[in-house]
Structure 1
Amino acid sequence: MDGFVGRRTELATLEDLLAPVVTGGRGGRRGRAVLIRGRRRVGKSRLVEEFLERSGFPHVFFTAVGGSKQEDLAGFAAEVAGSELPDASHVADFSVPQTWDAALNLLAGVLPADTPSVVVFDEMPYLVREDPAFEGALQKAFDRTLSKLPVLLILIGSDLAMMEQLNTYGRPFYQRGTEMVVPPLNPAEVAAMLDLPPADAFDAFLITGGLPLILEEWPRGADLWGYLDRALRRPTSALLISGERALAAEFPTEAQARTVLSAIGHGERTFTLIGRAAGGLNPGSLTRSLELLTSRRIVAADTPLSTRPSRETRYRIEDPYLRFWLSFIGPGIPTIERGRGERVVEAIRSSWPSWRGRAVEPVLRDALWRLADDRLPPGTDAIGGYWTRSNDPEIDIVGADRSPIAKKVTLVGSIKWLENKPFDQRDLSRLIVHRSQLPGADDATPLLAVARSGCTAGGIAHLTPDDLLDAWA
């Protein structure tokens, strides 16, 4: 199965960055740098490997493994020595460098001056954490030598917050590299990769999060239950092991944050209920854990969208796959390891309609935001939801001119994501009542139904899975 469905944009971006390295830049500075970030197992390294293979230029690809500084330096020197760089064999004549200044000087000495080359540092956040001097050494090497050579420097990292900070004001590498985000495959790409109809593609996206490693083991054309029945019989399935590996990498020592994350993954959404489910954490400890989780983009903190400010924050797992894993797979691993994966499948099946109904909401809001210019009322620049503490009302879709506090509400909508149950007249009547309770909306505010199984109510615009998948076309 092609692991590069939907990666044309990312490959084209890397090719554009390589172009001035090949043809020559202004002022004699041909070197370029790019900082690539994205969630773990999203395919960043594989993307770069494909790019390197297509470019055909000599390269060094070094992956940090979280060891000591000395191990990293030795590993880097070994990668340079074993690379296809024309003078790489000369590295064996030198002792292992003891500092990154020395290691990068060694690299600069063997990079060709007349042929383009590429240097890759994968899992760069490990290097920054292990040696605070690494950033400064890299900046100095880039300014003095690398930027004057025909080399593309690629820095890859899965710690999203740290990778963003590397290119901020006050950091050594500030404004020296182009930032690039590698997202998971989107629902349209999932549909193309697995040859699934739109509604089933959204299901597959909710389970896999668009992670290529998991999608590659999904049989082409298989529906949700066909895949789960197969995957949950194998303890080595990527569906099982990817979640635990991601958590171990993100939280090697923060056990409390993992406890809070598990509480959110099991469905708790408010500050009070999360704290209670996490073992009665005091407010200060819970606040710190939530700040850590949101700063790492693992948890999203949502607020109601209307013309009136609100403090009714709700928390959710940002990554659909991790949300599914925390809800079903993680708790079911002991059962799967006993060879009873069918029990986990049945547990998923019994909870699936209600779980999916909640999990699909942020995905569909993202689709609506992407469709705003073509399918939604003019001036819709923000899509969210609305709720009160008592959940009366609770509105799935609110379109507005801005967020989090709107000047104008442009749209009020409802999501009904069930098989064989279209959005009907009763659903429309309920939506009209809820619209009357939304600050900023009135009887003239347009209504929208987003329904998996179509719409039988009259007088309301509606969108189907086919329409929504077009958001990523």
Structure 2
Amino acid sequence: MKFIDRKQELEFLEKKYSSGEAELIVIYGRRRIGKTELLVHFSKGKNYFYFLGRLESREGTIRRINNLLMSHFKDFELAKRPISDWDDVFEYLARKSNQRLVVVFDEFPFIVERFPEIVSVLQDKWDALLRDTNMMLILCGSSIGMMEKHALSYKSPLYGRRTGQWMVDRMNVKHIRDFFPEYKMEDLILVYSVLDMIPGYLVKFSPTDRVWKNIRERILSKGEFLYEEVEILMREEFRDPSNYMSIISAIAGGATTFGEINSITGLDKSLLSKYLYILDRLHIIERQFPVTTTLKSKLKGKKSLYSIRDNFFDFWFRFVFPNKQELEEGKVDDVLETIKNEIDSYIGFKFERFVGEIISDLVGFRATKSGRWWHKDKEIDIVALNEQTKQILFVECKWKDRVNAKKIVKELAEKSSFVDWCNEEREETFAIFAKSFSNRVEEFEGRRVYCFDLKDLERYLGVQVVTQFRTEKDKS
């Protein structure tokens, strides 16, 4: 399959490659996100050496890197006098770095697990030798916790040595059609709701099969790659994932406040706070505040809600984990029918996030902040604001057909009056998203209203921009 997107990441790497200086770059991000593919694509046409860390003996690792160096540099002297430790490795690579050389250590945490001393050795060799070479050294890893501990933390020996870092995250949602060119918009949003924009998951679905067939055969069927994927990832990240899984399961089931999660899990409050912090730091869940919340209020920690950041984790914990016994017994079709009956309410929340990722492009609105807003019994799906221009955009998302836009915008305008932000000088605009409309509206009480249905989103994925947001000054 062709390489898709990652324009920003490639620009960052190319900039570092062209710096003319020694570079020590940390690339990290969850598994299946496409880090290795990114580095392989970046390295094409360049002089580069790639080494993949894996779980093997210390002797096996040193022997393997010696053989790879011998093969890459065609240096058969290494057969007679092989490398014996990491001091030798870095000294050898330094000698080969008279011209620009890209060196990639992939799955770096696996190497550290077998060779805890490598971090200190690298610190010493960087200070004494490598920083004066033409080497671009890239440390790449999937365990976010391990990468932060050994390569990013101020306690790490490498702190202050690295010259750049990049967390590889989900792909932009506008590239989903590249994976499924024949799918209609409703199916694309279903795929997004189930798999997110994780390249390693998207390629597991067949673009020629119907979505529900993909879900049945590639997620719900025992033995398939995605069936136990979440459990495998959790065991790799945590020694004992049971409490973490209980927390995520509670959130997937609808518990969004600290009190609700505490009530369901029964965990000690101090332990729960610690676990939630770790899950948030690892980007598995996220702690949200109303978009207009000040930093001071956030520090107090009030009004926060928790949600699962990763759509696949959310889908798995909501539909696979609680039905694991039935799936183990082969009752796949029964579970599939249950999912079909509940999927619309699940997609409703994911549709909000889908819209949140593209809203700026659709209306040409440059937001400095964007997110959900709530206060007491009032809630708005998306509020995007620009703190410089004092523009604010209120967005309602309805995963329904034949939505009455006139009714929705009236309700949205009423709720917007409770949003306390630049009340006397702000310029308001509204947007409504739905599967389809029974009627549309372009203006409400002198304020611009945008209406987008699935056909509009289809055009966006092909054309990129549907319309343009204009300020009052532009209109005059």
Is 1:57 aligned to 2:47, yes or no? yes
Match of residue 406 from structure 2: 425
Of 139, 142, 145, which residue of structure 2 is paired with 1:155? Answer: 139
Q: TM-score, normalised by structure 1?
A: 0.82
Q: In the alignment, which residue of structure 2 is the partner of 1:327?
A: 318
The change in CA–CA distance for 1:163 and 1:360 in structure 2 (over 3 A counts) is: farther
In structure 1, the residue matched to 2:256 is 269
Partner of residue 438, structure 1: 419
Displacement of 1:167 in angstroms is 4.0
State the distance in 2 between where 1:169 and 1:44 align: 24
1:250-261 alignment, distance < 5 Å:
250-261=237-248
Q: Secondary structure at the match of 2:27?
A: strand
1:46 to 37, 51, 73: 37
What secondary structure sits across from 1:6 in the alignment? coil
Query: How far off its partner does 1:223 sit?
Result: 4.2
Matched, 1:124 2:108: yes
Shift of 1:254: 4.2
State whether residues 187 and 202 of structure 1, in contact with CA within 8 Å, keep that contact through their aligned partners in structure 2. no
Q: 1:13 to 1:133 in 2, by over 3 A?
A: same
Hey, what's the Cα distance between the residues in 1 that align with 2:440 and 2:84? 72
Amino acid at match of 2:123: Q
2:217 to 212, 220, 230: 230
| Structure 1 position 146 matched with structure 2 position 130 | yes
**TM-score, structure 2 as length reference:** 0.82
Counterpart for residue 278 of structure 2: 292
Give, in angstroms, the shift of residue 127 of structure 1. 4.0
The answer to whether the 8 Å contact 1:264/1:274 transfers is yes
Matches within 5 A, 1:231-380: 231-232=218-219, 234-278=221-265, 280-306=266-292, 309=297, 311-368=302-359, 370-371=360-361, 375-376=364-365, 380=367
Q: Distance in 2 between matches of 1:11 and 1:349?
A: 39
Does structure 2 retain, via aligned residues, the 8 Å contact 1:449–1:455?
no
2:393 touches 2:431 (CA, 8 Å); kept in 1?
yes
Instruction: Give ranges in structure 1 of 5+ residues lacking alignment.
Output: none
Q: Which SS does the other structure have where 1:355 is aligned?
A: helix
- Which ranges of structure 2 fall in alignment gaps of 5 or more residues? 444-448, 466-476
Code of the aligned partner of 1:292:
I
In structure 2, do the counterparts of structure 1 residues 8 and 307 end up closer, same or farther at CA, with 3 Å as the change threshold? closer
Contact residue 24 and residue 161 of structure 2 kept, 8 A: no
Decide whether the 8 Å contact of 1:81 with 1:89 is kept in 2.
no
Say if 2:220 and 2:227, in contact at 8 Å, map to a contact too. Answer: no
| 1:381-426, Cα deviation, whole Å (9 max, x unpaired) | 11111223x5x11111112345xxx9967122211123x2335332
Residue 399 of structure 1 is matched in structure 2 by 384
Cα root mean square deviation, aligned:
3.3
Equivalent of residue 415 in structure 1, options 397, 414, 419: 397
Output one character per residue of 1:280-338: Cα deviation in whole Å (capped at 9) or x when no partner. Answer: 22211211111111121211000112367572110011111111111112333433333
Match of 1:172 in 2: 157
The alpha-carbon deviation at position 14 of structure 1 amounts to 3.8
Give the counterpart letter for 2:253 in structure 1: H
Q: Matched residue pairs, number?
A: 445
* Alpha carbons of structure 1 residues 17 and 55: separation in structure 2 relative to 1, 3 Å: farther
Cα contact 1:455–1:462 (8 A) shared by 2: no
Task: Find the partner of 2:206 among 219, 243, 251.
Answer: 219
Would you say the 8 A contact 1:398–1:409 is kept in 2?
Answer: no
For 1:447, the equivalent position in structure 2 comes to 430
